[in-house]
Structure 1
């Protein structure tokens, strides 16, 4: 089955996410700035990088490798254009995490914002066991009703996502991360204009890597 993310135009995604009723692109950008400056990592993997929102906060004196991972090759081509200033530090990888996680390289730090919702807890565990990061920072959406896609003129561009969406809860995420040796560090809430909120949850490996 073709993943529905391959059928969503990046322009529709970004216009929806930045609209006044959603505002998630802006909030995620602020979140990424915090995430990228929180831990002593020299390599970072951004899962579900889309168009690269937040990569402008990469400190090239700190990071020697930035992996942008997405299932949509067109998204990654746009990332390479937008962030050509990162040069060889930026490495874009077109990978279906549900089937090809074994192709992922290792990284000190994994950022996964609005990603676990589309692969599920168990697949995310497999990804983390492959990448073996010291630190993980996840952005998950807490909904106020049954609809996980917020209202906007671009709403119907996302109709296909119902087939792969998983509702993620912080307690369950903690349990699944604990099962693979990652201890919960902290969570921060980012309110959204429609009553929903994003929660940033951070974890650290309990093992010496």
Structure 2
């Protein structure tokens, strides 16, 4: 797949997201920690995981299986170097989550933060349904339009500006409609505003029991 994500160094992405003027890395890690605390999932997949922001929040006593999914294999290599010793059996999946060829055994919690801005929601949600255990949870984070802030914030890490032409904001209403069509039901929703002026929508969905059959043993 031709995507600028393959050309952005992880150091640039992490440096950009961690800037105090942006603050998105901290927000996303905090949300992940809150989801882990709320649902105590035995298994979790982070789709669009980059270098593993928030993976230090995973308690292996509660969450015994972790899958990391990203389109950039170099990001996954860095993630493995950081966390393979801490997370036994860490699973790495490099590929396009829009493709049905990218599969992994279903999990109890899927975290998809700032993913849907770069993919077609319908095929991704179909794949995430196949990757979600019955009564499992899908948590998404969407960036909302801003009248004052650029979609891709300016920063010293200029390589990220390559994302601007391929970034398409998805409304919470559209994601809700696509999620329902895929078989998910909404559990909760909230909005977060950062000092930068950017706002985000957090939506949590559940796959009802009997709605999915695991594609392989957990």
TM over 0.5: yes
Aligned residue pairs total 208
Report the Cα offset of residue 142 of structure 1: 1.2
Q: Is the 8 A contact 1:119 1:164 kept in 2?
A: no
**CA spacing shift, 1:101–1:36, aligned 2, 3 Å:** farther
* 1:185 aligned residue: 187
Q: Is the 8 A contact 1:139 1:201 kept in 2?
A: yes
* 1:118 aligned residue: 118
Q: Normalising by the residue count of structure 1, what TM-score does the alignment of the two structures yield?
A: 0.91
Inter-partner Cα distance in structure 1 for 2:167 and 2:104: 22
Matches within 5 A, 1:1-209: 1-133=1-133, 134-145=136-147, 147-154=150-157, 156-208=158-210
Report the Cα offset of residue 105 of structure 1: 2.5
Inter-partner Cα distance in structure 2 for 1:38 and 1:85: 25
| Corresponding residue SS for 1:32 | helix
Structure 2, unpaired ranges of 5+? 213-218
Report the Cα offset of residue 100 of structure 1: 4.7
Report the Cα offset of residue 188 of structure 1: 2.5
Report the Cα offset of residue 40 of structure 1: 4.4
Structure 1, unpaired ranges of 5+? none
Report the Cα offset of residue 46 of structure 1: 0.3
Q: Normalising by the residue count of structure 2, what TM-score does the alignment of the two structures yield?
A: 0.88
Report the Cα offset of residue 38 of structure 1: 1.9
Inter-partner Cα distance in structure 2 for 1:17 and 1:176: 28
Q: Is the 8 A contact 1:184 1:204 kept in 2?
A: yes
| Corresponding residue SS for 2:91 | strand
Inter-partner Cα distance in structure 1 for 2:123 and 2:109: 18
